[in-house]
Structure 1
C-alpha cells in the first residue's frame, strides 16, 4: 500500500508543479507550448492509425492464408477419403482387369494346344500301384534290432 500512496503523492506534486510553471509562462510561450503539444498529439494519432491499418492488413493476410491452408487440408482429406472408399469397394483390385485375364485364359484353352495327360501305364510302366500294400517302417525297425 505504501508504493501506491507514494506514487499518488508524487503524481499530485508533479501536477501542482506543472500547473504553477504553466501559469508563470507568458501568453506567447503558452501558445507555443499548446502548438507543440497539439503537434505531438497529431503525430501520435497518425502513428496509431498507421498501426491500426498495419494490424488490419496483417489480420486480413492471416485470414486469407488460414482459409487457403484449411481449404488445402480439406481437399487432401477429401481425396484420401475418396481413395479409401475406392480401395474398399474393390478389395481384390480392379475387377475389369481380372475379368480380362480370365477371358484370355478361357480363350487360350480353346486353341489347338496339347494338354499333358498322365496315366498310370505311362508313368509306372503298367504296374497297378493302387492295390499294393504299403510297408510300415515302424514295424520293420522293431524287428531289425537284435534281442538278447
Structure 2
C-alpha cells in the first residue's frame, strides 16, 4: 500500500510542479510549449490512424488469403469428387459389360451335367429289401469280392 501512496503523491507533486513551472514562463514560451504539445498529440493521433489502417489492411489480406485457400480446397475437393465419380461410373460400366457377357455366354452341356450331379446327394443309401433278397446268390451286398477272395 505504501508504494501506491508514494506513486500517487509523486504524480500529484510532479504535476503541480510542472504546472507552476509552466505558469512561471512568459506568454511566448507558453504558446510554444502548447503548440509542441498539440503537434505531438496530432502526430500520435496520425500514427494511431495509420496503425489502424495497417491493421485493417493486414486483416483484409488475411481474410483474402483464407478465402483463397478455402476456394482452393473446395476446387480440389470438387476435382477429387469428380474423379471418384468418373471412376465409379467406369466401374459400373465395366461390371454391366461383364454381367452382359456372362448372361450371353452359353454354358457348356458338360457343365450343366456337373451341376446336376452336384445337386445329387453324396450319401450312400442301402435298401434293406434289395440287400437281403434271394437274387444275390449269397454274395455279400455290402462288401464286394476281391480278386484273391473266393467263396
**If the TM-score is normalised by the length of the shorter chain, which range does it land in?**
0.5 to 0.7
- Mapped pair 1:37 → 2:46: no
The answer for the alignment partner of 1:109 in structure 2 is none
- 3-state SS of the aligned residue for 2:64? helix
CA RMSD between the two structures: 2.8
Q: d(CA) in 2 for partners of 1:94 and 1:76?
A: 27
Q: d(CA) in 2 for partners of 1:77 and 1:2?
A: 65
SS in 2 for 1:57: helix
In the superposition, the TM-score normalised over structure 1's length comes to 0.57
Higher relative contact order (CA 8 A, sep 6+): 2
C-alpha deviation, 1:92, in angstroms: 6.6
Structure 1 or 2, whichever has the larger Rg, is 2
- Which residue of the partner structure matches residue 83 of structure 1? 83
Cα distance between partner residues in 2 of 1:47 and 1:98 = 75
* 1:17-61 CA distance string (max 9 Å, x none): 111111111111101111111111111111111111111111111
Count of aligned positions: 101
Q: Provide the residue aligned with 1:69 in structure 2.
A: 69
Alignment partner, residue 51 of structure 1? 51
Using structure 2 for the length normalisation, give the TM-score.
Answer: 0.56
Please show how residues 4-43 of structure 1 align to structure 2 within 5 Å. Answer: 4-43=4-43
Question: How much does 1:77 deviate?
Answer: 1.8
Structure 2 gap ranges (5+): 103-151
CA change 1:92–1:16 in 2 (3 A) is same
Which 5+ residue runs of structure 1 have no aligned equivalent? 103-148
- In 1, distance between residues paired with 2:80 and 2:62? 27
1:9 positional shift = 1.6
